[in-house]
Structure 1
Amino acid sequence: MDEVKIMLSEELSGTSLQSLSENIPGGMFTCRFDRELTLMQMNQGFLSMLGYSRQDITELFHDSFWNMIDPRDRTETLREVHRQMKISDSKELEYRILCRDGRSMWVLDKGRLIRDENGDAYFCCVLVDVTTSKELEEKLRMLLERQQVIIEQATDIIFEWDFLADTLEFSSNWEKKFGKLPNTRNVSLYLEHAPYIYSGDQAAFAAMMERIRRGARSEETEVRIMDVEENYRWCRICMTDLFDESGRAVRAIGTIMDIDAEKRRAESLMERAQRDGLTGLYNKIACREHIEAGLEQLAPEQKAALMVIDLDNFKNINDTMGHLFGDALLSEISHTLQKQFRSIDVVGRVGGDEFLVFLSQIPSGALAEKKAEQILKAIGGMAVGELTNMDLSCSVGIAVYPGCGKTYQELFQAADQALYQAKKQGKRQFCMSSPETALNGMPAAGESAVNARIDSNEIQETVGPRLVEYVFHILYKTHDMEAAVNSILEAVGRQYDVSRVYIFEDEEDGSCCNNTFEWCGEGVEPQIGNLQNISYVEDISGYHGNFNEQGVFYCRDISELEESQYRILNQQGIKSVLQCAIYDNGQYKGFVGFDECRMNRYWTQEQVNGLIFISEILSTFLTKWRAQEKAVSSARAMEKILDRLSAWVYVIDPETFSLLYINRKTRELVQGVQTGMACHEAFFYKDSPCAFCPVIECREGMPCSGRQIYNPYLNVWTSVDVTHLEWNGKDSVLVTCFDITELKNKLDSLEK
């Protein structure tokens, strides 16, 4: 009786276990721990999951689980099993297994090694389908549908610095542009004396490389590099650090971009912006800038002189002979003036018939008097008597540094008062500034001998159009928006004589803004580092309400603002502010700002209009650049991912069968393949589409997934997936091919 109970119990136990094994998710199997991983048992879930019958397993794989593993994963899987067995008798690993329908399925294999009473080892395992979580390639392929532009910067030079080996590797286009490769071994020893870098730029280059070596995430600088013709070309070098698992910087990737044309064009435009269009002399703003720079370089014991020159009765010549004659005469006078001075002196035209000269580093005021006499003689001796019965003469006012003043404004006022005195005494003469001339016959407040108010805020009417033209041209032509914007902010700041010019851009969600560009005048402390992640709710509540319907916010006295706004502006030393909103498709995206830190400043409507116009131009190009930058960055990242896929990926025009995009795997397999070639020409050397072409079937609406195609020229079997996508606004076809050659050959061998 007891034996019967035992037999019934064993039978019941076996039935229950069998039922349990057939109903758990996934598949169960046991196999020997031998070379072939010989299969002993498998449940129905195992067979259903992979699509085989028990007979298929025997006929196709000879009951060998080893043969069922994807050939690509066999070696690594076996190595991992042995590694785990050294630690315990349990294993857990992922690999691909061949299915009946020809695809490979990713599985999670969790098992335990068991030994029977004879000491033979076998595995008891559970397989779970994890294909969905492993199909990163498929997800990345779907992401491609969202990409409209893929840009390859073939002209950029790419290089890599291995910190541990201290070596550099450059892409091949270095030699095309710069000739012989620089030293690529013991790089650190050569940084400060890199012969291919212009000597004046070597320190900046070495400093950037040192910051990168110490772990700075990204750095960039502009240097001049000698090309194959031994000319120096401006280049922008950008570098990014790569870190190991411990967070240590181990190498850096960099690009070298040729910006020589843009750099020289910007310098040319800047030079043009500083010159008077008629005479070629420095204009009023440039004169002041160069004179202030010259004053800063003077030692305490050195002297200098500022001369204001005004033509006598020039208006009568203009009215009598006409403006064309007057302009020609002004041009000739400018040429005559320039010949009287050294190259280090500043000569400019500051009004219709008014000129300014700065004599730097002179021994005494006597030299300025001598120069003034030469000017009177040179201009008085010009041959205009044959053309007009009026004599040509001028008057000169002189102020000597440091006795008459130490700043540009002080010297200009003193020289202007001396000029006024010379005019009052009968013209055709010069007058030196002194305490007597300052008190006797001084012009009324706000007047000057050159018929213009002495006002640091005054902007000539001609400055606006020239500056707007400069801004537009540099933005329209530039390939480096960041450098262009910085250059423009500096030009605007100097032309309008403001303390600070800057741009704030909103975050994507509009909750806060960041100071992204900034130019500061002399003595003004930069704020860009302190003005990041400024919250519109917590930091500057209600700030959007400051802008009027034209998108302008002007505040002459910031103390009139709401407390939180006043506090954040006052911390920056601001007294007056003018800001112009940035809009993108009607939505507020930030603002361009102009700060005055010296006084409560009045802005004329003409100045406001000019700054609004410049801000609108900046806004238009900036928003377009940000959108393009985002798209390009996303496209580059996607292209890098696609290039790393083990699949062959390409995009085809279904009407012409021409290749629109090819990933790196495809280019490596098919030598000479290029975009624009027809797919049948590139892959099968045919003049017309293939009869089995999946693109035709996809175009006609037929399902095309998992199609197996053999290419006799490449000797490759592929599993092909084809799907529609929009490429640059046009309906196109995405083709993804997976190599199944080994599997196909194995199956063919088994069938034989």
Structure 2
Amino acid sequence: MQKKNGLPTSRVIYPSDKLSEQFIKESECTATKTFDTESYRILAELSQAIMFEWEIVNDHISVSDNWSLVFGNKPPIGNFSGNIDRIFSIDPKTKNVFTEYVNRTKKIKKVGPQHYEKFELHLLTKNNEYIWFQVRLLLRCDENESPERVFGMMTDINMQKKEYESLLHEARHDVLTNLYNKATTQRLIAHYLRHSRLKDKRQVLFVIDIDNFKDINDLFGHLFGDSVIVDIAHSIKLVFNKTDIVGRIGGDEFMALCKNCSEDLFIRKSHELLAALSKTYTHQARSIKISASIGAVISPDYGTRFEDLFRKADKALYYIKASGKNNYCLYDNDLSVPQYVNKREFLLTGNSEKNKKFFHENVVEYIFKILHRSTDATAATNLILEIISNRYKISRAFIIEKNSDGNYSNTFEWCSDKSASKKSSHQDIPKGTAEKFFSCLNEDGIFGCADVKLLPAEMQIHFKDSDIHAILECAVFSEGNIRAMIGFEYHTHPREWKSEEIESLSFTAEILGTFLIQKRTLDKMKHSHMQTLEILDHIESFIYVIDTQNYEILFLNKSAAEFFGTKQLGKKCYNIIAGEEAPCSFCPIKLLDESTDSAQKVIYLEKRDLWLRAAISKIHWSADREVCMVHCHDITALKKKK
């Protein structure tokens, strides 16, 4: 395996595969050339491939020693063609091209020029798990050019296959909802309409628009709106079958092709959609009700081209939107829609995926958008953990932060439906336990383990009786010290973390970590500010803050506010405090200069008949303001006694 940042990553190109490919092709160039089986064996071992040989005449098979490491017991030698299904447990969901090859080879009388084949098989291993293998087969003939034996090489390409399928999924799906994206929805529907045999079948194209969704964004914010879109997408998907094509084509617009759909079925599904999408969302004691408007058209009754059907379904939708919303309409030629304008022409032309970014770039961009928009740090963090976990099939994502005692606590957590929460049991984790894993971090602060059973014994003990099979943890640093750990667990089986997964998950952790450190610092400042205000408010004397340039009151403690008035901020101190129309001649501010930062003075407010002992000092307020704090004790009673 290659390594990146000290962690194993998947390989896309296997040099040994290229060597074996070249070797086999060179061997097939000359049918009469003697095949060097020893070289073939060595080459197979170098490529970590499994080698087998089928003797066609006596129907015997022999396999290399590494067969048992992957598939268990070696197969019986005789009656190979009769035992194929037991020797090669091919996934029944895939085409059995290997059995077809064997049956075809047994019928060959003479070996032609094309005696090398290559294909992929999804085979069951001894761990009861299906793995993708690339199989190369070279047919050798005897001196009479009759088929004699087949040499086979099987190479594990499971990681390559998964990586390809992952990239394909990412390119085709909407980042937020995991439905097909706009371009893919159009392409799949157009392809189905063009290539499927639809003579005796009817399809219905649905265009769904969410009513009042803009109000949710405007009132509750885009972050809350995104969570609503996710909920809506889930509700829409549940109405349709797995074989139907469902996608998101805009902010709050969706499209679906219901296959083999009668008019009665259309009516039933439309009612299901209206019921599922009639919802009320409440946030911060305010509520908004949404609903759905649905336009649809039947194919082939009104066409088989996507462009034509989309315009007609959109026209039906426009009719519903203009007629009061929260309803459905099935297009027909008599449908009268005044002033209809198709505002979605961009769907019908061009290729929106032409410059599409890779998925992890979209996720990073979306995370930045969430954090930028959010006013609720907790909701934003939880949403980010949910999005990244769903995309990478994470079972549990969590954040452990260092607390004031030096121990660690689980502050944020997201769990899949099949995983149990551990947040309550992961509070006040001893420093020694949490930091035991720090020694495993690489230079980038990342620790990844594909199988926790391979960890040292002293670390394995922490996973005893746990459902964790694989884990990836990323440290959050502040001033060179680890402040938090952001972790991702996988609970189904051991899992090799791919380079793209590590990159996206670790970068997400870095963004979240920076965000959380700033949040904690701000929280600490707010807490300190509140404590300061509470202390000042419990002081019975008057405390106020004045701009020395224009005499504006910037702050009053509780005692001063109650005595002089609660709405005096921004007003002149000589008006409010002394009751004068101009700056007081006895103003204590005049005692401060470049060399004097604090002073004391006894002052008499004639219009209030009030004696005060005033202590004044310069304080930092902002870079562009010269500010002082005045602390006054009422000494009127003492003065009058004298």
Give me the TM-score of the superposition, normalised by structure 1.
0.42
The TM-score normalised by the length of structure 2 is 0.48
Larger radius of gyration: 1
